[in-house]
Amino acid sequence: MSADKYEVIIIGGGPSGLAAAYKLAQAGVEVVLVERGDYCGSKNLSGGVFYTRVLDQLIPGFWEEAPVERYITNYVTTLMDKEDYFNLDYKGQALSKPPYNAFSVLRAKFDRWLAEKAEDAGVMLVNEIKVEKVLKEGNKVTGIVAGDEEMLADVVIAADGINSFIAQEAGLRGPIKPEHLAVGAKALIELPREKIEDRFRLTGNEGTAYAMLGEASHGVAGGAFLYTNIDSLSIGVVLRLDDLVKSGAKPAEVLDDLLEHPMVAPLVKDGKMVEYGAHLTAEGGLHMVPQQLVADGFIMVGDAAGFTINSGLVIRGMDLAVGSGIAAAEAIIEAKEKNDFSAASLNSYKRRLDESFVMKDLKTYAKAPIFMENDRLYKSYSKLANDIFGKVYNHDLTPKELLLKTALKALKENNLSIFDLARDGFKGVRAL
Amino acid sequence: MNVITCYKIVPDDQDIIVRDDRTLGLEKAELEIGQYDLPAIEAGMQVVADAGGKVSALSVGPKLLENSKLKKGVLSRGPADLYLVVDDSLAEADTHQTARTLAAAIQKIGDADLVLCGEGSSDLYAQQVGPQLGELLGMANINAVSKITVEGDKVIVERTLEDEVEVLEVSLPAVISVTTDIVQPRIPSMKEVLSAGKKPVTQWSLADIGLADNPQTMETINTLAPELAERKQIIIEGDSEEAVNELWENLRQELQ
């Protein structure tokens, strides 16, 4: 069977694949992007908070035309006990000005828009086709196989997400360790925009993102998030797979309980749940990024390469995806000039990543996953904080004690030592 | 043999929401090629595979026809080229407006030997456009066709009726509306999708096809979902004799 040949084939139409495709097409490279979904974004659950500065580099002023929801100006960190909670609330005016720091996005809309931009730039988009494997000659990747069709390319980019079996098949990635994976359960709740703006104290298109720890995840390693879209809220829990299995908790129940928690319930009241689902996400940070990111004729980007950061306060993936997509495209453009698509030539991708925020941030937060393996973070500290503040504010006619003494008592009641606290505090400050 | 297959872009009926006031919510519904039109496209491909020639696809409607995914969706199923008549006044076109617009476009394309339509649109399913189109073009005109065989300058068609299969000889040019059992539409391959992006698309306005004046002859007053029947909500559990008797008694009372 004769196989058509293109310069670049990209597997997967998420932010990483689309960013690479857009950049390549702009440079006049012949790109085919194969996406298994009905349209780009169709496989996506709800959305996320997208730290978009890097997208502004690729498509300057994108927010003027992209279907973004709200620019995030308010960040709230919640330490949650069973009924009580303790919030750290930050609002920054600089975050409400162009080029904006982050947007909430609903990916079914957003990815679709990015795909249209890519098509306009000349990308050949193929939907509803599942790539089954890569074609290889020795160690060199030469193309893809879908059904009984083969298609050849100088370079194949794996942008097929966290479960990238393409990367596994190309021999660059082993199976992912359970401690590097988390289950996310998520709901999309519709509310009129005026209600959202009132409840979250927002003006116009401002938005809020919550990171919730402690009881929010039933004490399972992970946490919960809530952020505002234009006329809906995205809320969900992220539960580390190994700890989830150990605890026996069910993600759907954890999410249901969160929705009824006294902090969350008034925020989602009278909302209409329009989407509900679960998805696997990556938690490993730098630890799950493979040693080799390229092979002969092959590059991996985005989640497929394990580019995610969860610092506990901030979950990032889309920005790293776009950053890696751009770096991959630049490496291929350079390789094309030399007409050399070997691993050595494509490895300028690694150098570009190292020089960019992608690897720098992954390295900065490299200790975060280990720090966050600590049980006390999920099981003890939220309760501790709530116990201390409970005692400070509660005047039940028993004699008051000074804050330090109250805190020490609360530590003791929670079976924590001041050494644990100091050690975790120090580690936390270093890791985050 | 020049074959023109007509298709309509419709909302995916799985995602149409019926609101409390029985009106329809289409916001969540993706646009797709009419499910009854896909077999007509495939039937056209079979005709030219047997008799030679070329299939062109044709649609008329509002601006959403320009969506690149929908255009590729049609062309990846085989047609060599695509013609669109785009005008937002066609968004709520009645069957006569649609047939008039298609007829004018077919005359402008010229030299059509066979025009194929689905048995009805998968949104309104009036089953009117095919027959009206045949009348407007002055061509032989037949519906409910489940098989087409080309024989020289004629086609032999089959219509599956209640108790028999009617076999008819139809002279060309003709407008034929086909049933969904005529052929299973294909699922486009990767290469068909890629080649679809390179096929020619001709887009006309109503003025381009000389139809600047194409008024609606029917007015839609409303489109409502049928009223839901009130359910009794009686649930009888178990398979004991009493439960069976209770079920029987309930049924009996209802049927009295």
Give the single-character DSSP code of B189. Answer: P
pLDDT digits (tens, 9 = 90+) for B197-232: 999 999 999 999 999 888 888 888 888 988 888 888
Q: What is the pLDDT of residue A429?
A: 67
* Contact: B189, A32; criterion CB under 8 Å: no
A349 plus A208 within the same structural domain = no
Residue ending a domain, among A366, A401, A416, is: A366
Instruction: Tell me which amino acid residue A123 is.
Output: V
A381 plus A421 within the same structural domain = yes
- Residue A222 sits in a domain whose CATH number is 3.30.9.90
* Contact: B190, A38; criterion CB under 8 Å: no
Give Cα A168 distance to the centre of its chain: 21
Q: Please return the burial class of A357, using the count of CB atoms within 10 Å of its CB with bins 0-12, 13-18 and 19+.
A: middle
Please check whether residue A97 lies inside any domain of the structure.
no
A2 pLDDT band (50/70/90 cuts)?
A: low
Please check whether residue B39 lies inside any domain of the structure.
yes
Q: Which residues of B touch A125 (CB under 8 A)?
A: 68-69, 197
Q: Which residues of A touch B71 (CB under 8 A)?
A: none
Portion 102-141 of B in contact with A at CB < 8 A? none
A55 plus A131 within the same structural domain = yes
The Cα B188–Cα B199 span in angstroms is 15
pLDDT at A1 over 50: no
A432 pLDDT band (50/70/90 cuts)?
A: low
Residue of A nearest to B197 (CA): A124
Query: What are the residues whose beta carbons fall under 8 Å from the beta carbon of A411, sequence distance 6 or more?
Result: A384, A417, A418, A421
Give Cα A395 distance to the centre of its chain: 43
ipTM for the complex shown: 0.79
Please check whether residue B228 lies inside any domain of the structure.
no
Q: The dihedral of CA B62, B66, B67, B72: what is its sign? A: positive
Residue of A nearest to B193 (CA): A126
CB nearest B190 (choices: A116, A119, A151): A151
* Contact: B191, A4; criterion CB under 8 Å: yes
pLDDT digits (tens, 9 = 90+) for A73-86: 999 999 898 889 98
A253 plus A358 within the same structural domain = no
The Cα B250–Cα A245 span in angstroms is 48
pLDDT digits (tens, 9 = 90+) for A203-243: 999 999 999 988 888 888 888 999 999 999 999 999 988 88
Q: How many domains does chain A have?
A: 3
* Contact: A126, B190; criterion CB under 8 Å: yes
Q: Which residues of B touch A124 (CB under 8 A)?
A: 194, 197
> B160 is in which domain, residue-wise?
2-204
> A214 is in which domain, residue-wise?
179-282
B189 contacts chain A (CB < 8 A)? yes
Instruction: Tell me which amino acid residue A198 is.
Output: D
Q: Which residues of A touch B187 (CB under 8 A)?
A: 128
pLDDT digits (tens, 9 = 90+) for A409-430: 877 888 877 777 777 777 766 7
B191 contacts chain A (CB < 8 A)? yes
* Contact: A39, B191; criterion CB under 8 Å: no
Rounded to a whole number of angstroms, the distance from the CA of A129 to the nearest CA of chain B is: 7
Looking at A229-332, which runs of residues are DSSP E strands?
232-240, 272-282, 294-295, 298-300, 309-310, 315-316
Q: What is the pTM of this model?
A: 0.86
A237 plus A201 within the same structural domain = yes
Q: How many domains does chain B have?
A: 1
A169 plus A215 within the same structural domain = no
A111 plus A252 within the same structural domain = no
Instruction: Tell me which amino acid residue A7 is.
Output: E
The SS3 of residue B147 is strand
B228 contacts chain A (CB < 8 A)? no
Mean of the per-residue pLDDT values of chain A: 89
A202 plus A328 within the same structural domain = no
A262 plus A398 within the same structural domain = no
Region A269-293 average pLDDT:
87
B29 contacts chain A (CB < 8 A)? no
B17 contacts chain A (CB < 8 A)? no
pLDDT digits (tens, 9 = 90+) for A364-412: 887 776 766 677 777 777 788 788 778 778 777 777 777 778 777 877 8
Region B84-94 average pLDDT:
93
Check if the beta carbon of residue B109 is closer than 8 Å to that of residue B56. Answer: yes
pLDDT at B176 over 80: yes
Q: What is the pLDDT of residue A365?
A: 81
* Contact: A129, B193; criterion CB under 8 Å: yes
Check if the beta carbon of residue A152 is closer than 8 Å to that of residue A142. Answer: yes
Residue ending a domain, among A250, A282, A314, is: A282
Q: Which of A47-51, A388-392, B89-93, B110-114 has the lowest mean pLDDT?
A: A388-392
Rounded to a whole number of angstroms, the distance from the CA of B156 to the nearest CA of chain A is: 35
Rounded to a whole number of angstroms, the distance from the CA of A255 to the nearest CA of chain B is: 25
Please check whether residue B181 lies inside any domain of the structure.
yes
pLDDT digits (tens, 9 = 90+) for B177-200: 999 999 999 999 999 999 999 999
Rounded to a whole number of angstroms, the distance from the CA of A26 to the nearest CA of chain B is: 18
Q: What is the pLDDT of residue B23?
A: 92
Residue ending a domain, among A282, A316, A345, is: A282
Please check whether residue A234 lies inside any domain of the structure.
yes
- Residue B49 sits in a domain whose CATH number is 3.40.50.620
A38 contacts chain B (CB < 8 A)? yes
Please check whether residue B162 lies inside any domain of the structure.
yes
Please check whether residue A76 lies inside any domain of the structure.
no
Please check whether residue B237 lies inside any domain of the structure.
no
CB nearest B194 (choices: A38, A116, A124): A124
Q: What is the pLDDT of residue A3?
A: 67
A119 contacts chain B (CB < 8 A)? yes
A14 plus A159 within the same structural domain = yes
A221 plus A276 within the same structural domain = yes
Structure tokens at A208: 């809020």
Region A161-188 average pLDDT:
86
Q: What percent of chain A has pLDDT over 90?
A: 56
Task: Give the alpha-carbon dihedral of A51, A55, A56, A59, to 10 degrees.
Answer: -160
Q: Which residues of B touch A126 (CB under 8 A)?
A: 190, 193-194
Portion 127-186 of A in contact with B at CB < 8 A? 127-129, 146-147, 149, 151
Q: Please return the burial class of A396, using the count of CB atoms within 10 Å of its CB with bins 0-12, 13-18 and 19+.
A: exposed
pLDDT digits (tens, 9 = 90+) for B102-113: 999 999 999 999
pLDDT at A106 over 50: yes
A154 plus A42 within the same structural domain = yes
pLDDT digits (tens, 9 = 90+) for B143-158: 999 999 999 889 999 9
pLDDT digits (tens, 9 = 90+) for B1-21: 999 999 999 999 888 888 889
The larger pLDDT score, comparing residue B46 to residue A406, is at B46
Q: What percent of chain A has pLDDT over 70?
A: 96
pLDDT digits (tens, 9 = 90+) for A182-206: 888 999 999 999 999 999 999 999 9
Q: What is the pLDDT of residue A380?
A: 76
Region A173-190 average pLDDT:
87
The larger pLDDT score, comparing residue B152 to residue A25, is at A25
Q: What is the pLDDT of residue B34?
A: 95
Q: What is the pLDDT of residue A386?
A: 81
B229 contacts chain A (CB < 8 A)? no
